[in-house]
Structure 1
Amino acid sequence: MNLHGVWAIYRFEMARGLRTLWQTLVAPVLTTALYFIVFGGAIGSRMQDIGGVDYGAFIVPGLIMLTVLTQSISNASFGIYFPKFSKTIFEILSAPVSPLEVVTGYVGAAATKSVVIGAIILITSTFFVDVEVAHPAAMIAFLFLTAITFSLFGFIIGIWAEGFEQLSFIPILVVTPLTFLGGAFYSIDMLPPLWRTVSLFNPVVYLVSGFRWSFFGQGDVSIGLSLGLTAAFLGLCLVIVTWMFRTGYRLKA
C-alpha cells in the first residue's frame, strides 16, 4: 500500500476540518448542552428511570450516535464531492494511488473527526449527568465501527451526488429522521407492540441499542444482532464502492 498517498489525503482532509474548528468542535458541544437542558432537564425531570437508568444518562449514547452518524456522513460525502465539484478528482484518479488507498484516506479522516466529536460529546455529558461505561472496550470498538461504516456510506453519497441538493438529501431527509425514530431518546420497549415491531425495521435502532448496551449492559435488541447488522452494512458499502471505482460511476464522466 502507498502509505505516503494515504497519508497525504488523510492529512489534507484533517487540515480542512481544522480550518473550520469552530463549526467542527464547538457546535456539537453547544448542541449537546441544549439537548441536556431540554431533554435531560425539562423532560427528564418528569420521567421515571428507564430500565433502572436515569433518563439524563440514558440519552447519552443516543446523542453520541446521532452526532457520529451525521458527522461521518457529512464529512465523508463533502470530502469526496468537493474534488468532483472542482474537477480535481481527475488528478486524484491519475495519481499513483489505488482506489483502496483513496478510500482509506478519505474515510479514515472522516471517521477520525467523527470519533473525536463523539468523545467530546461524551466528556461534555459528564458535566450534566453521571455517566458510567460498563464495557469500555466494546464502546470504543462500536464507536469506531459505526464511524467507519457511515463514513463509507457518506463517501458513496458524495460520489453519487451531482449537486449540493443531492449531497444533503439523504442525510437530512432520511438519516436524521431515522435516527430520531431509532430510540436515541427513548426505549422502543416503551412503544405499543405494533410500533415496536415497526421500529425493528429501522436500522438505526440496532446501532443505538448496541452502543447503549456498551454503557449500561442492556439494549432493546441483542448486542450480537447489532454488531452483525452493522458489519453487514459495512460489507454492502464496500461492495458498492468497489463497483463505483471499477465502473467509474460518476467519477470519470
Structure 2
Amino acid sequence: MINWRSTLAIYRNELARFRRTIFGSIVSPVLTTSLYFIVFGAAIGGRISEVGGVDYGAFIVPGLLMLTLLSESTSNASFGIYMPKFTGAIYELLSAPVGVAETLLGFVGAAATKSLILAAIILATATLFVDYSIAHPVFALFYIMLVAASFSLLGFILGVWAEGFEKLQMVPLLILTPLTFLGGTFYSIDMLPSPWDKVALANPIVYLVNGLRWTFYGDSDVSIGISFGLTLGFLAICVAVIAVIFRTGWRLRT
C-alpha cells in the first residue's frame, strides 16, 4: 500500500526547490530554444525549405523538445537525489517509513513535472518562430510523459551513482547531449549518405526523436512501434536497477 502522504511530502519539497530557482529554470530554456530557431531555423532553413513535406522550422520542433526533455529530466532527478546524499539528509529518508515506491514517485514525479512544465514553455516559445501542428496530441502527451519519466529514472540512478558534482554532469554533457545532436534533432537520417544512415540507427536517441516527430507530423524515419517499445523497455530497465539499488543499499548507506 503506497503511503501517499510521504509521496506528497517528497514531491512538494522537490517542487519547492524548483520554485526557488524558477526564473533561471525558465529563462535558460527559452533563450536556448530561441537561439536554436534563430541559428538553425534562419541559417539552415534558408537552404532547406522542407524536410519530408514539413517546413524546416517546424520539423526541428520535436527534436528541440526532446533535447530539452532529456537534459532537464536527467539533471533535475539526479540533482534531487544527490543533494540529500551530499548533505547527509538521505539517512533521514532511509530511516523513515517510506518505501521505494513512495521515494520514486516523489523524486521522479517532481523531476518529470518540472520537465513537462519546461516542455510546455518550449512549445509556447516555438509558436513565436514557426507554425507547427500536432497530428496526434494524445499520443504526443503520452510519449512526452513517458520520456520524461524514463529519463527522470535514469537521472535518479545517476544521482545515486555520482560521488561528486563532476560525475553528476558527466553523462548528460558527455553522452546524452552529443547523442541527441547526432540523433536527428536537426535533420532526417534519410538525408545521410550510406553507410551513415544505417550507422545512425545504432543511436537510441534516433528512436526517441522520431517517435515524438511521428506524434507531431504522422511520419518518421523509423517504426513508431519500435520507438514506443524501446522507450518502455528503457523505463522497465531503470525501474529494475533502482529496485536493486534500494534492496542492496548501493551508494545510499555509505
TM range (shorter): over 0.9
- Residue 62 of structure 1 corresponds to 63
1:76 aligns with 2:77: yes
Distance 1:237 1:252 in 2: 20
Instruction: Give the AA of the match of 2:113.
Output: T
- Residue 89 of structure 1 corresponds to 90
Instruction: Give the AA of the match of 2:104.
Output: V
- Residue 228 of structure 2 corresponds to 227
- Residue 163 of structure 1 corresponds to 164
Distance 2:113 2:215 in 1: 20
Distance 2:201 2:5 in 1: 43
Distance 1:248 1:173 in 2: 27
Q: How far off is 1:196 after superposition?
A: 1.1
1:30-179 equivalence runs, <5 A: 30-179=31-180
Distance 2:116 2:221 in 1: 23
**Secondary structure at 1:192's aligned position in 2?**
coil
1:194 aligns with 2:224: no
Q: How far off is 1:208 after superposition?
A: 0.2
Distance 1:113 1:37 in 2: 25
Measured against aligned partners, the alpha-carbon deviations of 1:97-156 in whole angstroms (never above 9, x if no partner) come to 101110110000000000110111001101110010000001000000000000000000
Deviation >3 Å, runs of 4+:
none
Any unmatched runs of 5+ in structure 2?
A: none
Q: How far off is 1:193 after superposition?
A: 2.3
Moved more, 67-76 or 45-54: 45-54
Moved more, 40-49 or 10-19: 40-49
- Residue 203 of structure 1 corresponds to 204
Distance 1:245 1:231 in 2: 21
- Residue 251 of structure 1 corresponds to 252
- Residue 4 of structure 2 corresponds to 3
- Residue 238 of structure 1 corresponds to 239
Distance 1:203 1:119 in 2: 24
TM-score (norm 2): 0.99
Q: How far off is 1:42 after superposition?
A: 1.7
Count of residues in Structure 1 that have an aligned counterpart in Structure 2 = 253
**Secondary structure at 1:200's aligned position in 2?**
helix
Instruction: Give the AA of the match of 1:159.
Output: V
Distance 2:69 2:33 in 1: 12
Distance 1:246 1:45 in 2: 55
Any unmatched runs of 5+ in structure 1?
A: none
Distance 2:198 2:24 in 1: 38
Measured against aligned partners, the alpha-carbon deviations of 1:166-199 in whole angstroms (never above 9, x if no partner) come to 1011110000000000001000000012111111
Distance 2:243 2:96 in 1: 18
TM-score (norm 1): 0.99
Measured against aligned partners, the alpha-carbon deviations of 1:25-62 in whole angstroms (never above 9, x if no partner) come to 11111111111110001221111310000000000000
Q: How far off is 1:85 after superposition?
A: 0.3
Instruction: Give the AA of the match of 1:77.
Output: S
Distance 2:38 2:178 in 1: 21
Distance 1:61 1:177 in 2: 17
